[in-house]
Amino acid sequence: MRILWITPGFAAAELDYNCIPPMQLLAQELMRQGIDLHIVTLEYPFRSKPYRWHGATVYPCNGRNRRWLKGRTLWRAMRLSENILKSTQSGVVIHSFWLGWASGLGERLSHRHGVPHFTTLMGQDVLPGNRKFMLGLDAARMSRLAAVSEFQNGVFEKNTGLRAGHVIPWGVDESEIPAFLPPERPLDVLGVGSLVPVKNWEKWLNVLALAIRERPGLKAELIGDGADHAKLERLSEQLGLVNNVRFAGNMPRPEVLTRMREAKVLLHTARYESFGYVLAEAAMNGCQVLGTPVGVVSEFGKTAEKEAELAGLLLDMLKQGIPNQSFVLATMRQTAEAYLQVYGGVSKAKITESQI
């Protein structure tokens, strides 16, 4: 079976670990199961020449997230996608990621070439700000949509009155599950993610400030970078956390996984998450999970909304023993198998429709 992925971005090289890790892991698992995978990217990487990635061919359209390049970008993506579709006779499915330009292009290709099309809702594409791409959705389209968590599907229903027909959570790669977890962890609290407003790192720092009143020697680290970096460092100074919190900046994903095995608690205070893959990674590495009730936090650990409640839970978790085994809800093999079932289902549905 040939699968055409259409996505705003994908890894620019095999060592580009930090670009949407769950998509990379899913791509590798699908190819292990015999899928002929081709990937068209609209915006990133910022180049135009096709390249090979772990056996898949990636066709970048070099949109660079520039609005004034959108027409050219979509034209390139349409041309490349049609060439991919025309080069095979049967067994093709289009899979787009994010309800946006990628899914719109997927629908157009599907109607033009009679090829089944499926979309994964990935993140903030289910929020009211994406309303223009929610218009025109109907019950029939819902059977060709997947949410990555029940939480995300609930938000989608609140904003559209419709629910995605599938919920397919991200799994972890079995090869990354540690065979051994260290009995000692020098780092008390870890935070991982882009330093942007939706991640709400101000709350993260405020929770630490409350916890430090009882545990002055608490050691925390924040991995990531972004527009809020300078503001968050100033807030850390104002809260008196200079000796407790280290701003580590960006790290390659393998190093982040190592830091998770050195930390007792992953604290995640985002305002919104569709899933939050960092939660699955932390739990896999024996790190306890605590956060606001978004994404899949409640499936991996404890949740609270108020800062004082989070601080209390954090202190309780730091007093507990270190987990001696990984916590895994799903593997990427299971995620891939779920998508393969969906691919087969939409293919049969398309054939049935064409026969009526």
Taking only the tens place, the pLDDT of each residue in 244-261 is 999 999 999 999 999 999
Structure-token pair, residue 149:
């968590």
Torsion angle, alpha carbons of 181, 184, 186, 191, to 10: 30
pLDDT at 2 over 60: yes
**Residue listed under structure tokens 């956060």:** 291
Q: CA–CA separation, 114 vs 111, rounded Å?
A: 5
**Between helices 201-212 and 307-319, what is the axis angle to 10°?**
60
Is residue 70 exposed (0-12), middle (13-18) or buried (19+ Cβ within 10 Å)?
middle
Neighbours of 282 (CB within 10 A): 29
Res 355: pLDDT? 30
Res 141: pLDDT? 94
Taking only the tens place, the pLDDT of each residue in 285-312 is 999 999 999 999 999 999 999 999 999 9
Taking only the tens place, the pLDDT of each residue in 183-219 is 999 999 999 999 999 999 999 999 999 999 999 999 9
Q: Model pTM?
A: 0.94
Is residue 175 a contact partner of residue 32, using CB atoms and an 8 Å limit?
no
Structure-token pair, residue 78:
């349409």
Residue ranges of alpha helices (H) inside the chain are 21-32, 70-86, 101-113, 131-134, 139-142, 150-160, 201-212, 229-238, 253-260, 277-284, 297-300, 307-319, 332-355
Res 88: pLDDT? 77
Is the domain 174-319 a CATH 1.50.10.10 member? no
CATH of domain 2-171+332-355: 3.40.50.2000
Which residue spans of the chain are classified as CATH 3.40.50.2000?
2-171+332-355, 174-319
Q: Which residues are within 8 A (CB) of 257 and not within 5 positions of it... i.e. 6 or more apart?
A: 176, 281, 285
Q: Is 99 helix (H, G, I), strand (E, B) or coil?
A: coil
Helix (H) or strand (E) holding 37: strand 36-44
Taking only the tens place, the pLDDT of each residue in 298-350 is 999 999 999 999 999 999 999 998 899 999 999 999 999 999 999 987 655 54
Taking only the tens place, the pLDDT of each residue in 164-181 is 999 999 999 999 999 999
Q: Which residues are within 8 A (CB) of 166 and not within 5 positions of it... i.e. 6 or more apart?
A: 145, 146, 147, 338, 342
Res 301: pLDDT? 97
Taking only the tens place, the pLDDT of each residue in 93-105 is 999 999 999 999 9
Q: CA–CA separation, 147 vs 240, rounded Å?
A: 41
